[in-house]
Structure 1
């Protein structure tokens, strides 16, 4: 019954509140009412009668039809569709469900180094198969190596999505030579890479929740900042991105901007139709991903972003593509823990949780003091967090400064003070950062 039913009647099917399924009890009651109207009020509808058994069997089938109609109705909307129905909605938008990146673990062994020297391989260190075509992997955590120690296991993730990123067990692996030469200083030391277990998962597709979020974020217009931003965020190696065009086409990033004397010289001639103007695309890169092709052998983020923008920009509108300013974040605090708990284990758990939380932050999102306190107090064994202060250390040099980024200075904030970031800055938290100073005392 539709939502146009007379007042006082139950409403089923498509209503203003959505699709309402007729319940099994209601179906049985309606069928019995029709049976009495057809065969008389004295018809036997007891639990043992043949007519009752036929009606009950038909009611179950009718209820399944109602459920099928409900699924068909909600399959028309991206917020409620599932499985194959969600795939069809994605096809209408031109966005297919993506394969996942293969993941697993490799073992790193250091050789040829002095016994008292340690080497830190940062998150994002590139590993590849020795045989061609190379399959590239990136480490998902920082690895600290020293000579004479057992092999260190570290998680890895394939650079490319799909089955091409799968690596069978016991393959010959190595550090990607170009990347290692630019980013590591091993000297005479060597790092051996092995994978006793296979690296798998590239054949799997992303789940409905992830796919649905991508579909809901797709603008229905051809050229807007949001439409372009969605395409950039889908590129491999892009952690986050932002588009700056606040003056509607005036190129505010050029060095001559803000240098004109408005009382003596005209700011600019009237823009002619077809003459170019520029907008700024700021891209935050995932750890270890090369920005330019000369930074490594895996696909460079800058060129991938440029190719994408070239396909979506209007005529005579050109991008200035720059890397975001990475701001190193640290903390200084004193933890009060319960007796019997391992202080090192507690510190490691807190640092891992903070690292995960900071990695989720987007461009311009500052680090909240309350979030760090909550993370620390939620750790088992922690009684109190005292004198927690946030620290920041901006990079020495930056490509851009659109919104107040500060370079080359370190700062420690007061207790309770948040760490703000400019719109072109993104937070980065390394577990082994020298900005971290955590003291532990027992209760």
Structure 2
């Protein structure tokens, strides 16, 4: 694999040769999501072969004048010379993303279902130095990951919080992060039936660091596994208090697909349930729709082990990713969560309302419970009732609150009955 010390001079030379001819160029960072986990699982030779196949696929959708450089174990740098405007750069990004949606990358008898995220920087608008453009394309890539889009172009106002690896690692180890619980309401039972556990991080330097910043950072480093272990145990500790107090609620815990590559993860999760005394049937693991494409086979194997022991599985943020019905058919899910971007738009866009209605029907046809996220007002709630949605979540139902406070309030209310 190429390292940056050799890559950047080559990229700089390509930019310098191109600019006198046409002025505008673009630098794209293309990263294959989940490739690092695939290499750890199947070996570096497998990873190298898949990366070569990925490079061929990228080259096949670009012009002959465009140059594709290997820049790491899971990423490429693409230089687009002589483009007319930023639209052409975004069109190239769209083609690259689409190339990986069409078919899996094959290596021998093993298929790898890859997904890419692309960050775009323009030369000279965002700089003329290769290193600066590279960093700004990386910032655009991270912004795309943060907002859940397949690509993004660099914006000067992108000013990410400087997350220090050591600080996050030490705060996880010292249990300094906070657990928040947000309630979910069953429309048929007319009561709160579960909570979603959400991690929050407060630092002395930056105050509250958004999960959209520190969770992707943890996923890019080796901190996602300890962060997941912390979240799992901290969430179960509070859920166990509810069960002991006679106010049992189901608890939903978000999982990164990267933890599935860890040997024995399913057994670790089941062991934690036993330690804390929380029934498997009262536990829901949430995995995003886009994570299905990282390594479907591995995800299915791990989650089926959990399902066989009674743990429920929710597909989170449904509608924002690229999963097809074929994926849903094989995935061992028990619940489908409609992303809030669809629920938000229902009141003003009749077509979106019909899409939400169709999602509810699909969930029921697949014998899944349907959860609508982002319910912010009574009118939205009533429309979901009319659609026969099962469960709702959002500020209209309840805002996230510290788990300790949530548990204390529930136990106090039960004692008064």
Query: Do they superpose with TM above 0.5?
Result: no
Instruction: Say which structure is richer in helix.
Output: 2
Q: TM-score range by the shorter chain?
A: under 0.3
Greater RCO (CA < 8 Å, at least 6 residues apart): 2
Instruction: State TM-score, norm by structure 1.
Output: 0.25
Instruction: State TM-score, norm by structure 2.
Output: 0.26
